[in-house]
Amino acid sequence: MPIHSVLDRGRVPVKMWTPLLRDDGSTNVESATLDQLTNIANLPFVFRHVAAMPDVHLGKGATVGSVIATHKAVVPAAVGVDIGCGMAAVRTNLTSRDFGDGALLKLRSSIERGIPVGFNSHKRPTEAALDWASKADGGRLSEKNVCQLGTLGGGNHFIEICVDTEDSVWIMLHSGSRNLGNSLAEGHIRNAKKLMKAMEIQLDDADLAWFPEESAHFEAYVRDVEFAQRYAMENRRLMMAEVIRNMARQFPDFATDGEIINCHHNYLSREHHFGEDVIVTRKGAIRARKGDLGIIPGSMGTRSYIVRGLGNPESFDSCSHGAGRRMSRTKAKATFTVADLEAQTRGVECRKDKGVLDEIPGAYKDIDEVMANQTDLVEIV
């Protein structure tokens, strides 16, 4: 499916892989999201166009589901505060037939004991975390940062055991750079706002403050983002290793079957597009160069996809990062009940309480519709 719509009211166009309206005439992309995309498109250094993915929705400063290529400048909000947030997945040799009565609850409880969730972290750094930090630290990691390596976090971060279309069991998880990335991002966003004030630059949205390449802030930001991305990648690797250990204890013949896919979807990358060297920021999008393997998750209770990139240049070799929210967390809590959550996750072994109500499947866009809108970006594996 080609580009659905083009928003042409900024300095450069916004190419969108989703229709503005649904078939029934209702709004598919809220007006505030379109305004935010226009603000991005008006920035003086945005290269060629802005690419909006099928799961596009309102974010802080920069839109979630936006891919932005820039010349000689970078916008911290275009990566966001959860730097390096992304996915990891691996197929195992298990099938659904290996899970008898009580096996799912036993495995879930075991994983929850081994991997801290929410604001929690390891009481002491793991040996693997200390080993990584000793090689990659450079003096930047606090004890808290090291204790948070191999931990999930909160919000929409998850660990999931799922079954594919051939009945193979997969491990899938979603997490980022924990408080390290958030602290770095917030500091750089504040510095960017101060710089805009000093340069007497007025922005339609102050959260789109940016660093010009000639400023000392530019390289400092890029360096910190790249470090946080490495931290996030290692965080997912350590959690995956812990889940694998848990499953190996429970299933004597357990083994993984194939490579671990590990990809960011809130990040920055130096790339070459349309004959130019540019900085590409993907916020709620993954890289989908020709042949790249990626992960596009649905919501609790809905399917997810392993995909292979098609290398579409118009999307700057990108695709969506998931289903994308169709309502805010606050609205979800006001709209749905715990009974709704139980109904929408029937058959799934998971928490079913008020604490996760904002993650109910009904708060998200239809993942199959999202996939149908990007058949020119990825193929389903």
Cα separation of 176 and 236, whole Å?
7
Q: What would the two tokens of residue 294 be? A: 């990626």
Cα separation of 226 and 270, whole Å?
11
Would residue 265 show up in a list of annotated catalytic residues for this protein? Answer: no
The active-site residue out of 57, 217, 264, 321 is 321
Q: CB neighbours of 282 closer than 8 A, spacing ≥ 6? A: 66, 67, 264, 265, 266, 267, 268, 269, 318, 321
Please give the distance of CA 111 from its chain centroid, rounded to a whole number: 22
Q: How many CB atoms lie within 10 A of CB 162?
A: 16
Interaxial angle between packed helices 216-250 and 103-114, expressed in degrees from 0 to 180 and rounded to the nearest 10: 140
Q: What would the two tokens of residue 231 be? A: 């931290």
The torsion angle over the Cα atoms of residues 201, 281, 236 and 138, rounded to 10 degrees, is: -60
Q: Look at strands 261-264 and 211-212 and give their pairing.
A: unpaired
Q: What would the two tokens of residue 111 be? A: 């994983």
Interaxial angle between packed helices 216-250 and 127-136, expressed in degrees from 0 to 180 and rounded to the nearest 10: 160
Q: Which residues are catalytic?
A: 321
